[in-house]
Each structure stands twice: as structure tokens, then as C-alpha cells.
Amino acid sequence: MKAIILNLIAWSTLPIMDGMAKYLSTEMHFLEVVWARYFFMILLSFPLTFIFLRKYLTWPQSFLLQLSRSIFLFSSTICFFYSISVISLAKALTLAFVSPIFVTILSAFLLKEKVGFHRWFAVFVGFIGVLIIIQPGIIKINLASIASLGAGISYAFYIISTRKLTSFDNPFLTLIFTGVFGAIIISIIVPFYWTTPNLYQWILMISLAAVGTFAHFCLILSLNYAEASKLAPFGYFEIVNNVLIGYYFFGDFPNKWLWLGLLFIVSSGIYISFREMRNLK
């Protein structure tokens, strides 16, 4: 029960970060928002890690794999923050939820895991959900929608590389390495798009990172009490607060096609998660 509560707290909190990011992206370049996400996360979390978890601050055993994982998560963040700067939170997040589908596909080809008919069928159902949302040939597909899908695909590669890393490095070291890499790369890029924030924007940027750090801390804690596959279906709870925040603060409410596509994608992802749990038994 403790794992479920912590997991739900995390997925309920992350949409608050997304809402702040969307609001800030209406007033500044989205890359500045990405910078705030990474820079202040390190500023907040690294001192705590140094004090309480200093033993994990070692050089990674698999540097190239750590680097690849960091690149995938960084790409996912860039794509997602760009997408929410253009389209609704609900649509962006729903399209990004294709990640469990692509994790299944990549597991078969990169990890050589056995994927049976049931999971391939679930992948097909999820793909139908994506087509329902973007409606190719009926409405014009924009770059933001493609970026949302890119965020989900990049996140799937991130999950696959994380699976490989579990046998090499400690998860706390992996978390720190990922944050430091992202902060360095975005700090090199962001000066070309920089506009000086006002005091209110600075507060929001720091708050955004604090909320995101707290949410990920809850996720890590939840994984200490239960297996990732058993907690995976709870990730879809994120869409609830995401829809509420999008509607209340931005006037965005999902249309019937988004709801229908969401049903297909979520059903597919939950089914895949339950099949993974069954295989672990």
C-alpha cells in the first residue's frame, strides 16, 4: 500500500510541473523552461545526495550506456516541453503515452525478449489509438503532435537503457548522472534563446524544478517497496490531473476523438503491464 500511495503522489504531482512548464512557455522560449527543469533540479537535489547518499557518487561502470540513457531522457524532455508549448496538455501527454507500446517493440528487437501474440495485439490497439487522435488525412498533423510521439519513443529507449543499467550501476547514481548531463547540455544551448525572466518567472522556474524533483523522489521511494512492472499501470493516473489542470488554467478540454484515442492507448498500456506482471510470476 505504501508503494501505491507514493506512486500516486508522484503521478498526481507531475502534471503540476507540466502546467507550470506550459504557462512559462507562453512567456519565454521553451528551451529556457527545459533549462530550469534540469538546472534547478541539480541545484536542489545534488547537495542532499552529497550529504545523505555520498557513497553513490562514484564513476559509472557503464559510462556509454549512462550517456545514451541521459540523451534519450533529454530528448524526451525537449520534445515534450515543446509539444505542450503548442498543443493541449492532455493531447501531448496522451500521445507520449505510446512509450509502453514502444518499450514492448524495442524489448523484442533490442533485448531479445519473447513477445507473444497478446502483447503484439495490444501494440496494434495502441497504434489505432494514436491514429484516432492525430487523424492523418483528416486534420493537418503538426510538429507538436509529432514531438509528443517523439517524447514517448525517446522515453521508451530511456526505459530500455535503464533496464540494461540495473545490472551495472546504482539507481541513485543513474539519477544523478542523468540530471548533471541534461543540465550541462541545456546550459550550453539556452544562451542562444535566453530572455531574462522577471521575479515571478524565476519563482515559477524554481517551483517547477522543485515539484518535478519531489515527484521523482516519490517514484524512487515507491520502487523500494514494489516492482516497477506492478506499479506501471498507475502511471496513467497522471492523465487525470493533467486534464483538470489543462481545463481549469488553459481552457483545454479533450474532444471525443482524444477521449477515444486515450481509451485505446491506456487500455493497450495497462494490458501490456499486466502481461509483464504475469510473466514475472
178-85-140-137 Cα dihedral, nearest 10 degrees: 40
Q: Which of 35, 51, 84 is nearest to 206 (CA)?
A: 35
Distances from the Cα of 180 to the Cα of 173, 257, 264, angstroms:
11, 39, 36
Q: In sequence order, what are the beta bridge partners of 139?
A: 136
For the stretch 209-228, pLDDT in tens is 999 888 877 876 776 676 55
Write down the pTM of the prediction: 0.84
Cα separation, 29 vs 191, whole angstroms: 11
Contact yes or no for 89/18 (Cβ under 8 A): yes
For the stretch 90-139, pLDDT in tens is 888 888 888 877 877 887 777 676 777 777 888 788 888 888 887 765 55
Domain residue ranges of the chain, discontinuous segments joined by +: 2-280
Cα separation, 104 vs 101, whole angstroms: 5
